[in-house]
Structure 1
Amino acid sequence: MDVCPFIPVRNATMDDCIKCAETVGQKLAEELQVPVYLYGEAARTPKRKLLSTIRAGEYEGLADKIKDPDWQPDFGPANFVKSWGGTVIGARKYLIAFNVNLLSTKEQAHRIALNVREQGRKDQPGRLKKVQGIGWYLKEYNMAQVSLNLLDYEVTPLHVVFEEIKKDAKELKLPVVGSQIVGLVPLQSFLMTADFYIQKEELFIIDVDQKINLVSVESFLPYLISYMLSDSNTPLLDMTVNSFIDNVGSRSPAPGGGSVAALCASLGAALGAMVGQLTYGKRQFAELDDKMRKLIPPLHEKMLELKKFIDADSKAFETYMAALKMTNATEEEKAQKEIAKKNAMINAVKVPLTVAQLISELWSTLEEMAKYGNINCKSDIQTGVRLLEAATWGAYYNVMINLNSVKDEPLKSNFMDDINKFKQLMVASSSKILQIIDERES
């Protein structure tokens, strides 16, 4: 085995991956008696951060390299195992393998690679951090390629790399004829790229699948990591409507009013967004397109954000119940239990309070939608407003009942002030919006 990276994909941290790398490295070395090096975030010295540094000299050079005190393995024997060589195990972020195709020579492609990659040339660093690159020629396709590894797409995103290569290619009067993703990539990397071009070209796209289509083709979907993973604990959000209703109606206390309030809030925002979508792009409302471009996104974004609290509320309840079940045989355990109960209860207040806050941020947008949205959707926006009313009341009742267990009086007072403020805003705003709708003619 040459290299084995651990990557925090879901429900894991980089520290978790470092521990995995160390555990696997030690076990592999002990059981097989082979040299193992740690790299990336698991590296124990700065010079071993880069995989390429450890690999320098390759298999043929390892016999001499391993004798150097600076290159003793992190685990296993410090001698060359002819039948195995060495293994590198580490922890790192997603690595995106990204190729940009050019109608050029190998030398021209490599010149661009040297310009953009972080290592650059011997006497001059490149422009892009956390990027490796090389230029080569693909004889079978009769074109050259700048082949890149993006070591941290949050530091240097895909679109930045692509635009920099386009700029260099333009200076050399070379055509860029496409790009290629190799292997798996995180969904967020595509969405970042889509948002860049949406802003650059002044496009109006808010749907996630359409954003992916903007920067790829449908055949790329299997390569997006988020599309390949499923939650093992089947969160409420992924249930069918039928199953969710059955769960609410069961003998279990969760999901309860808090989760239902979050669902109502998300549906209320969704109906507002729907009214905008049924106004935008229609010839009879063409003069409203610019206004709908401003009104739809905040409603859509709040719809997505509020959905998360359907599960968050149930998890907050489960966390508090788990704190109640902690042992308290010793004074230390009693103290730990009290801290856990306190933190869990504060979180159980914050979740519905945040739902109410997010709803409060919708009223001004909904008021504009009520004034200008497709009047044929009158009942939809009325239903949406009533759902947001119900959601605010649901959040209010959940905050108030949980505040009974909060002993920090100043914090309790702040929470109460906030939830009352959101409730009062809801009463005034919903009444105003419904009046606006009632006064409009169909």
Structure 2
Amino acid sequence: MNQLIECVTNFSEGVNLDIIKQITNEVESVEGVRLLNVDPGKATNRTVVTFVGEPSRVIEAAFLAIKKAGELIDMSKQKGEHPRMGATDVCPLIPISNISMEETAEYARQLARRVGEELKIPVYLYENAQPNKSRSNLSVIRAGEYEGFFKKIKLPEWAPDFGPAENDVKRGATVIGARDFLVAYNVNLNTTSTRRANAIAFDVREAGRTLREGDPVTGKIVTDENGKPKSIPGSLKAVKAIGWYIEEYGIAQISMNLTNIEITPVHVAFDEVCTKANERGIRVTGSELVGLIPLKAMLDAGKYFLKKQQRSVGVSEKELIKIAIKSMGLDELGPFVPEERIIEYLLKDKAGSKLISMSLADFADETASESPAPGGGSISAYVGSLGASLAGMVANLSSHKKGWDSRWLEFSDWAEQAQQYKNELLALVDLDTAAFNKIMESFSLPKSTDEEKATRDHAIQDATKYAIEIPFKVMQAALNSMEVIKAMVEIGNPNSVTDAGVAALCARTAVLGAFMNVKINASGYKDKDYVLDIIYRGNEIERQAIALEAEIIELVNGKIGM
């Protein structure tokens, strides 16, 4: 599988959209690099440009963008709220898939060396690309900003890692490194006071605030036995934060970098800022995401806020994201479009979800057409997903049933299980058709020579095995969903017992239909030991599904008195 890295370059221009477009054109000129997001900010006078691709192509795109930014941006005239030191202020590389942090750091060093040597821009390494940990922190490197770097760069301890030891008047200096995924996140306040925003930032950020005697702002700094200032740690780990005023919006914000969202997720940071702001008589009005965010962060946030309301978390991915957006006010300052802000959605292969993206009518029309796919395997998976969906519906109705408030968490867990089976089966709808297409493609391979024949035969066998495995997964998922279905008949909302009964019929159909596909594809597979094993296991799943369906239908009829 291909190695993928992400580059989240920050350019010191957020007003002139023509300059930004010229820079992003350079990124898009590199074949194989995908531009994911362009996020300009007028008040900060800064644009975050996010792109992804194979490492060598990403560093080529980054180099071209840095070169173009140096030509177009004049740092001697640049002003903005965000700290900065160069036209390309910071250029981090982030490992996305099939690549280690160590490898990513080496690519960052390659890029830094090229920028320093070819463009003659002073370059500092940071985070995982910087071997000297005393100067690996971005805020430490950038201290003094552009204006202060004319003197700072002359200090022996601040000689750049690459490029001349002379701050470029027009282009400034650049920081290049490798880091884990970072979420840039701002929380909006109902105040215009930068001082009060900073006070809240100091309350929450990991570094906290300097300890002073008496007055926390003007009092004498307290030092340890070595003369170093003591600090009071903030309440959030892996969080950097400052307060600032954004003239564009007429509000102050807490600007945060969440450097490890496994330690401090976005929703935890939001709630903690709300708490600290309330303690100071200030109210949070919403928040703002800068750049992109992983899907899991949004789903976790949606579940977190639903649980606070004692509501079921077993709802669709789309609903969880909607809850997260509304709960954190991510759309207060402008529209929040998940398809443009969630990294997995931007990387998603749309062709891989062609069928499940169709309307019901279009899906039916496509099935009824002269094309052999989608066929019985995809339909079996889809029927199974409907069964799991009905089970989830009953669980959610039960979770919200009047008088059953004490049981909301129990039914929420069942609903969440149903959603997982539904999602798995939906994904298998397109995968089954892809498996069929893979077989057709392998049969179309050339067979003129013995070598071509051997290659073709090997491809046919690989495709056949894949076409066995996909419907077998449908069988397993549909059978597993029957546990939820049975539970909903037994303990769920009695007004919806027939819905759970229909779910059982769907699940059984999915199992039996998918097994037909397993058997017909297995007939063309040469590994007979594998075939005997898969058919044996398939027969057992089929037997269990038929027995469970009969048991569930009997329970349903008993509940409705028939």
Normalising by structure 1, report the TM-score. 0.76
| 8 Å contact from structure 2 (residues 206, 234) kept in 1 | yes
1:71-82 paired onto structure 2 within 5 Å:
71-72=161-162
| 8 Å contact from structure 2 (residues 201, 242) kept in 1 | yes
Q: 1:374 to 1:147 in 2, by over 3 A?
A: closer
Provide the C-alpha distance between the structure 2 equivalents of 1:131 and 1:327, rounded to a whole number of angstroms.
58
1:22-421 paired onto structure 2 within 5 Å:
22-27=59-64, 39-41=92-94, 43-44=108-109, 46-47=129-130, 58-60=145-147, 65=153, 70-72=160-162, 83-85=170-172, 93=181, 95-99=183-187, 101=189, 106=194, 109-110=197-198, 112-114=200-202, 116-117=204-205, 128=236, 130-136=238-244, 145-165=253-273, 173-175=279-281, 177-178=283-284, 179-183=286-290, 185-186=292-293, 187-200=295-308, 202-208=310-316, 210-211=319-320, 212-213=322-323, 215-216=327-328, 219=331, 222-226=335-339, 232-233=350-351, 235-277=354-396, 281-283=400-402, 292-325=411-444, 341-374=460-493, 377=496, 379-421=498-540
Provide the C-alpha distance between the structure 2 equivalents of 1:130 and 1:308, rounded to a whole number of angstroms.
35
| 8 Å contact from structure 1 (residues 21, 91) kept in 2 | no
| 8 Å contact from structure 1 (residues 21, 38) kept in 2 | no
Secondary structure of residue in 1 paired with 2:516: helix
| 8 Å contact from structure 1 (residues 100, 180) kept in 2 | yes
| 8 Å contact from structure 2 (residues 522, 531) kept in 1 | yes
Could you tell me which amino acid in structure 2 is paired with residue 95 of structure 1? Answer: V
Q: 1:131 to 1:335 in 2, by over 3 A?
A: farther
Provide the C-alpha distance between the structure 2 equivalents of 1:332 and 1:111, rounded to a whole number of angstroms.
72
Q: Deviations over 1:168-190 (max 9, x none)?
A: 668xx434521412445545433
Q: 1:411 to 1:153 in 2, by over 3 A?
A: farther
Provide the C-alpha distance between the structure 2 equivalents of 1:330 and 1:70, rounded to a whole number of angstroms.
60
| 8 Å contact from structure 1 (residues 184, 223) kept in 2 | no
Moved more, 278-287 or 404-413: 278-287
Q: 1:8 to 1:331 in 2, by over 3 A?
A: farther
Provide the C-alpha distance between the structure 2 equivalents of 1:299 and 1:139, rounded to a whole number of angstroms.
47
Secondary structure of residue in 2 paired with 1:238: coil
Deviation at 1:143, TM superposition (A): 7.8
* Unpaired stretches in structure 2, ≥5 consecutive residues: 1-10, 14-23, 28-32, 38-49, 72-86, 95-106, 110-124, 210-228
| 8 Å contact from structure 2 (residues 186, 290) kept in 1 | no
| 8 Å contact from structure 1 (residues 40, 49) kept in 2 | no
Whose helix proportion is higher, 1 or 2?
A: 1
| 8 Å contact from structure 1 (residues 275, 380) kept in 2 | yes
Deviation at 1:163, TM superposition (A): 4.3
Q: Deviations over 1:11-43 (max 9, x none)?
A: xx9972644431213445788996988533352
Aligned positions, number: 435
Provide the C-alpha distance between the structure 1 equivalents of 2:455 and 2:354, rounded to a whole number of angstroms.
28
Q: 1:366 to 1:16 in 2, by over 3 A?
A: same
Q: 1:30 to 1:9 in 2, by over 3 A?
A: closer
Q: Which residue number in structure 1 is paired with residue 5 of structure 2?
A: none
Q: 1:29 to 1:224 in 2, by over 3 A?
A: closer
Provide the C-alpha distance between the structure 1 equivalents of 2:420 and 2:265, rounded to a whole number of angstroms.
22
Moved more, 111-120 or 421-430: 111-120
| 8 Å contact from structure 1 (residues 131, 150) kept in 2 | yes
Q: Deviations over 1:253-302 (max 9, x none)?
A: 22111111111001112223334455554559889867644543333332
Moved more, 190-199 or 337-346: 337-346
Provide the C-alpha distance between the structure 2 equivalents of 1:78 and 1:333, rounded to a whole number of angstroms.
59
Could you tell me which amino acid in structure 2 is paired with residue 39 of structure 1? Answer: P
Provide the C-alpha distance between the structure 2 equivalents of 1:85 and 1:331, rounded to a whole number of angstroms.
62
Moved more, 403-412 or 235-244: 403-412
Normalising by structure 2, report the TM-score. 0.62
Could you tell me which amino acid in structure 2 is paired with residue 303 of structure 1? Answer: K
Secondary structure of residue in 2 paired with 1:71: coil
Secondary structure of residue in 2 paired with 1:180: strand
Provide the C-alpha distance between the structure 2 equivalents of 1:155 and 1:249, rounded to a whole number of angstroms.
50
* Unpaired stretches in structure 1, ≥5 consecutive residues: none
Could you tell me which amino acid in structure 2 is paired with residue 23 of structure 1? Answer: E
Q: 1:116 to 1:43 in 2, by over 3 A?
A: farther
Deviation at 1:306, TM superposition (A): 1.8
Secondary structure of residue in 2 paired with 1:207: coil
Secondary structure of residue in 2 paired with 1:222: coil
| 8 Å contact from structure 2 (residues 312, 408) kept in 1 | no
Provide the C-alpha distance between the structure 2 equivalents of 1:429 and 1:409, rounded to a whole number of angstroms.
30
Could you tell me which amino acid in structure 1 is paired with residue 280 of structure 2? Answer: L
Deviation at 1:126, TM superposition (A): 6.4
Provide the C-alpha distance between the structure 2 equivalents of 1:87 and 1:330, rounded to a whole number of angstroms.
56
Provide the C-alpha distance between the structure 1 equivalents of 2:464 and 2:162, rounded to a whole number of angstroms.
51
Provide the C-alpha distance between the structure 2 equivalents of 1:411 and 1:118, rounded to a whole number of angstroms.
55
Q: 1:167 to 1:331 in 2, by over 3 A?
A: farther
Q: Deviations over 1:197-228 (max 9, x none)?
A: 33455332433455433624594693143367
Deviation at 1:327, TM superposition (A): 6.2
Could you tell me which amino acid in structure 2 is paired with residue 160 of structure 1? Answer: V
Query: In percent, how many aligned pairs have the same letter?
Result: 27
